[in-house]
């Protein structure tokens, strides 16, 4: 885990200065995107939900006729439903809910459309995902006892994407993200919830 994260950081430190040195942009260096992130893991969807909010701001480090290099900061979050503790395999009575918040910081290498008639583009990239997950709830009984747990972690990840330019300033993008670690919430004894964060996102992007 730590080795993968170190490799991501080193790559960003090497690539970013090189990309900025060769910038040949068209003046449109920033973009905003909004959409939905859907986890692939069925247990994650059951406990937290199927469609998570996803927003990003991106800066174009480099631009040529065929390639863009982009750094992006985003937010992926969802407030899960209230569920019985038995959902986690616990014998305790009571309820809980999960609220994950993920801040991805990513680098993407984009291959632009190869002709004036094509509007399809592709990309691959890597990043660091800063994850913070809060579990709140209450154990059962005549007088419920509230509890609150919080876990933070930084996970390295990689992604691949395909998009279509709808106009000069608007595009739609489908992205697959793989993280080299799981979202986890633990108490003092053991993990209560640990599942993959891999997922697919669909975003609308505006360039300015």
Q: Which residues contact 118 (CB under 8 A, 6 or more apart)?
A: none
Stretches in the chain below the pLDDT threshold 70: 1-27
CA atoms of 124 and 2, how far apart (whole Å): 21
What pLDDT score was predicted for residue 148?
93
Of 134, 140, 153, 142, the residue nearest 192 (C-alpha) = 134
pLDDT value at residue 27:
60
pLDDT of residue 3: 52
Kindly state the tokens that stand for 22. 């060769």
Token pair of 117 as six digits: 């008639």
pTM: 0.84
Scored b (16 or more CB within 10 A) or e, 116-141 reads eeeeebebebbbbbebebbbebbbee
- 87-138, pLDDT tens digit by residue? 998 888 899 999 999 999 999 999 988 777 789 999 999 999 999 999 999 9
Say what the pLDDT of residue 186 is.
87
The per-residue pLDDT for 19 is 44
């Amino acid at each position: 885990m730590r080795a993968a994260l170190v490799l991501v950081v080193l790559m960003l430190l090497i690539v970013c200065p090189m990309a900025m040195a060769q910038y040949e942009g068209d003046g449109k260096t920033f973009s905003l995107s909004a959409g939905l992130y859907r986890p692939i893991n069925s247990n994650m969807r059951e406990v937290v939900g199927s469609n998570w909010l996803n927003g990003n701001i991106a800066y174009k480090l480099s631009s040529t006729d065929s390639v863009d290099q982009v750094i992006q900061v985003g937010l992926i979050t969802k407030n899960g439903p209230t569920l019985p503790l038995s959902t986690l395999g616990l014998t305790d009575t009571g309820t809980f809910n999960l609220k994950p918040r993920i801040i991805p910081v990513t680098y993407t290498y984009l291959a632009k459309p190869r002709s004036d008639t094509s509007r399809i583009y592709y990309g691959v990239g890597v990043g660091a995902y800063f994850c913070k997950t809060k579990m709140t709830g209450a154990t059962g009984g005549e007088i419920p006892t509230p509890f609150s747990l919080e876990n933070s972690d930084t996970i390295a990840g990689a992604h691949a994407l395909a998009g279509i330019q709808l106009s000069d300033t608007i595009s739609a993008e489908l992205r697959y993200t793989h993280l080299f670690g799981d979202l986890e919430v633990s108490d003092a004894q053991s993990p209560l919830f640990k599942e993959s964060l891999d997922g697919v996102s669909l975003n609308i992007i505006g360039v300015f």
